[in-house]
Amino acid sequence: MSKDGNDVWFPRVKRSPTARLRLFCFPYAGGSALIFRNWINFFGSQVEIYPVQLPGRGQRLHETPFSSMDTLLDALEDAIFRYLDKPFIFFGHSMGATISFELAHRLSRTQGREVAHLFVSGRRAPQILDREPPTFDLPEPELITELHRLKGNPPEVLQNPEILALILPLLRADFELIQTYRYVPKGPLKCGITAMGGTDDYDVSREDIQAWQEQTGGAFSMRMFPGDHFYLHSMEKMLLEAVAQIIEKIKDEI
């Protein structure tokens, strides 16, 4: 696709001729570019926001979602490369944190392009093994019980058979992608990392967030917000203000 706003991977971009950098936002499992809709106008004209639309959601609903990290990274590398002509930053939440981390390494290794900063949110550092068994292949009743526990979908959605028929294949694919991901040790990223989490996220502890420090050769900071795994919604304004503060410092350095 051309850089005319019609790219299916980045459908909600508000172009700015005065932008000095680009912030790419990667969603959690089952999430779409829409979850970053309030980010688009928050940072002013010097920062272009690129919410990432993965296949299987939004206007890409009828595309098959990826269930393998490697094949997703292949596609993302091709899709994003044309937009790296300005300094760029990644933000990823949960599954999106791991995707953005691996994509940062991929672009450094294959394209010689370095992320200016990496924000990782709601996800344990990659070197920490998953403590829970896989859920992507559970029978449907058990998978729905797990979705209730995660609180990522409103209860009324999980009680609607028609909506479930649409979202369960996507969630299974996303869960398979992240639950079959295996971290391969690499050297630390050159960019700074800011790791964030919710104080009441019982699946991702403060120690899990702090462990991201091992993945950077640059500056590291950690920020914990009130809320559970989906604090990025309940504490969105506070999160955006924290991200904006760090971006202001980065803008002074580029």
Active-site residue list:
94
Contact 222, 209 (CB under 8 A): yes
Joined tokens for residue 64: 């098959």
CA angle 43, 49, 51 (to 5 degrees): 135
Joined tokens for residue 87: 């300094």
Contact 36, 57 (CB under 8 A): no
Rg of the chain (C-alpha set):
17
In which residue are the tokens 């044309």 written?
82
Contact 95, 172 (CB under 8 A): no
Contact 232, 205 (CB under 8 A): no
Cα within 13 Å of Cα(177), Cβ side: 28
Taking residue 13's Cβ as centre, other Cβ atoms within 10 Å add up to 19
